[in-house]
Amino acid sequence: MKTATELQTIAVAYREICEGQDPWIPLGNFMNDFFGNFLGQREELLQAPVEEPANPTLEQHRWALFCAASVEYLCVKYGLACPTWALSSTATDPLVEPWYHGLAAHKPHVQERLRRDAPEPFAKRNIFCSRRVFLNKYERPAGDLLPRRRSA
């Protein structure tokens, strides 16, 4: 079991995915560290490369590219230096078949929306997900302010 001071890096998250965990549990733990627990160590959370098994399954390869796209996306969004591993040809080589990921992603109209809205680091890898994939619960999106109640 991890201690409270151990970082849930993207590499650790990918390793846990390969070990059979539901992908959103280790990715959620990574997001908690990136967005809340270790703000001053964001670059460190992204530095170690994901390491695919010698003969990855299609699912493992998809998640490796998803993790690389995530690193590139987060670096651009937060003005961080992107590690070279995330921009290497093996990490940016697009999937042969498009991968649509999200609620109801099997439906053609949802796939069309995902193709249109997917962030560029994902789309260039032929991964199509919502632009809200890494929504930071600690930040309020622009225009999402609730009116304040007036005191009586």
Q: What's the pLDDT score for residue 142? A: 56
Domain count, the chain: 1
Whether residue 150 is contained in a domain is answered as no
Q: Does any domain span residue 133?
A: no
Q: Are 134 and 72 spatial neighbours (Cβ–Cβ below 8 Å)?
A: no
80 within 8 A of 46, measured Cβ to Cβ: yes
Mean model confidence pLDDT for the chain: 88
Residue 1 lies in a domain: no
Whether 29 is covered by a domain: the verdict is: yes
Largest CA distance in the chain: 67
Do the domain assignments include residue 147? no
In a domain, 152, yes or no: no
Cβ-based burial of 98 (10 A; exposed 0-12, middle 13-18, buried ≥19): middle
Domain hosting 62: range is: 10-128
Question: 49-98 pLDDT, tens per residue?
Answer: 999 999 999 999 999 999 999 999 999 999 999 999 999 999 999 999 99
CA distance linking residue 78 with residue 41, whole number of Å: 12
